[in-house]
């Protein structure tokens, strides 16, 4: 079951710099300008379930297992469409972070992000 699906519509001027070190900050399109500069902005979508360890994130067809979910991720995704995707153990896990196995792929305008329930329900 897909619990979250969105499409990247804009890329902040500093977002790609962070992506080079394995971080992708995502926000709804209505992010404040200072946050939009460092973020991948996307369409506002509904979170249809809690994101949990063991779920999967798909970025343009590439599958990544979710290893850890910060304590504020679900609330932030629901209210702001916000979280930080961290790949390959980049720094410590903060409350708004999702840690994933693998290497962050290239995110561009039009990229589709989907989070799938681990058990298919």
Q: Domains, the chain, ranges and CATH?
A: 2-116 (2.40.33.40)
Q: Is the predicted pLDDT of residue 50 greater than 80, yes or no?
A: yes
Contacts 24+ apart (CB under 8 A), 64-70: 64/100, 64/101, 64/102, 65/100, 65/101, 65/102, 66/98, 66/99, 66/100, 66/115, 67/99, 67/100, 67/101, 68/93, 68/97, 68/98, 68/99, 69/98, 69/99, 70/94, 70/95, 70/96, 70/97, 70/98
Q: What's the pLDDT band for 88 if we cut at 50, 70, 90?
A: confident
- Tell me: the pLDDT tens digits for 93-102? 899 999 998 9
Asked whether the predicted pLDDT for residue 89 surpasses 70, the reply is: no
Q: Please, what is the average pLDDT of the chain?
A: 93
Rg (the chain; Cα; Å): 13
Over range 38-65, report the average pLDDT.
Answer: 95
Q: What is the structure's pLDDT at 10?
A: 98
**Full-model pTM:** 0.93
């Amino acid at each position: 079951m897909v619990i979250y699906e969105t499409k990247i519509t804009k890329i902040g001027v500093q977002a790609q710099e962070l992506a080079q070190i394995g971080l992708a900050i995502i926000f709804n399109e209505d992010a404040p300008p200072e946050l939009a500069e460092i973020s991948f902005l996307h369409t506002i979508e509904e979170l249809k379930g809690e994101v949990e360890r063991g779920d999967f994130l798909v970025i343009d067809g590439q599958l990544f297992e979710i290893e850890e979910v910060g304590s504020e991720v679900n609330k932030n995704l629901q209210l702001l469409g916000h979280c930080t995707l961290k790949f390959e153990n980049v720094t410590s896990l903060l409350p708004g972070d999702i840690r994933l196995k693998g290497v962050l792929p290239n995110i561009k305008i039009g990229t589709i992000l989907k989070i799938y329930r681990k058990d298919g329900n």
